[in-house]
Amino acid sequence: MIYNKVKADSDKKTFSYSLKNFSVFKNEIEKNLFEYSITELTYKDIIAIIIKESGSKALKNYYNDYKVVGDNGNAYGIMQQWQDSLTDVNSKFKFNFSVHDLQNYKTAIKAGLGYIKIALNECKKDNVKSDLYNVSARYNGGAYSSDYNDNAKKYANNVQKIRANL
């Protein structure tokens, strides 16, 4: 099987990935898409968010058990969740995850997709299309915000570009 290479831009570097590199996350992502009844997004959509969020750090986290912490120590796990979004997930789904629990990729995916589910519900409530652009903008800029700032728009556009190349 041939896998497409995808480039993900960070502030200073462009990384190249193969979807094959992220196949280790596939079962966990698909299981949580099903458990949360998320039909609007696919495995590849979630991989695009993971690549945008943590790229090569996600692979290091899995293969070498490195801790993935970004945004000046505020974002945790391969899906780079902040405490406030994790608090929303814990409250909505009756979990008790700490940000340190997000160092485990299975927990990070469960919590990250929980936040995506919240964003999808908010899109529906606001009569906004429940697509990758709107969900990823809300994932970056706040699930409850329909007024996307420039960073959230840039983030959503980058996620769409990554997804187009998967």
Distance between CA 119 and CA 133 in Å, rounded? 11
Least Cα distance to 110 among 129, 83, 90, 135 occurs for 90
* pLDDT (0 to 100) of residue 121: 95
Q: Please count the structural domains in the chain.
A: 1
Bridge partner residues of 69 (DSSP): 76
- Please give the residue range of the domain that contains residue 31: 5-164
Q: For the domain that residue 57 is a member of, what is the CATH number? A: 1.10.530.10
Q: Tell the burial category of 43 from Cβ atoms under 10 Å away from its Cβ (0-12, 13-18, 19+).
A: middle
Q: pTM for this structure? A: 0.85
pLDDT at position 51 is 85
Amino acid at residue number 155: Y
For residues 106 and 28, the answer to whether their CB atoms sit within 8 Å is: yes
Q: Please report the pLDDT score of residue 60 as a whole number.
A: 60
70's tokens: 């970004």
pLDDT the model gives residue 67 = 64
pLDDT in tens, the chain (166 residues): 233 444 444 444 455 556 667 778 899 999 999 999 999 999 999 999 988 887 766 666 555 554 677 777 788 888 889 999 999 999 999 999 999 899 888 999 999 999 999 999 999 999 999 999 999 999 988 888 878 888 999 999 999 998 988 8
Pair 86, 79: CB distance under 8 Å:
no
The residue written with tokens 């969740």 in the block is 81
pLDDT of residue 58: 62
- pLDDT score recorded for residue 22: 77
Strand 69-70 versus strand 75-76 pairing type: antiparallel
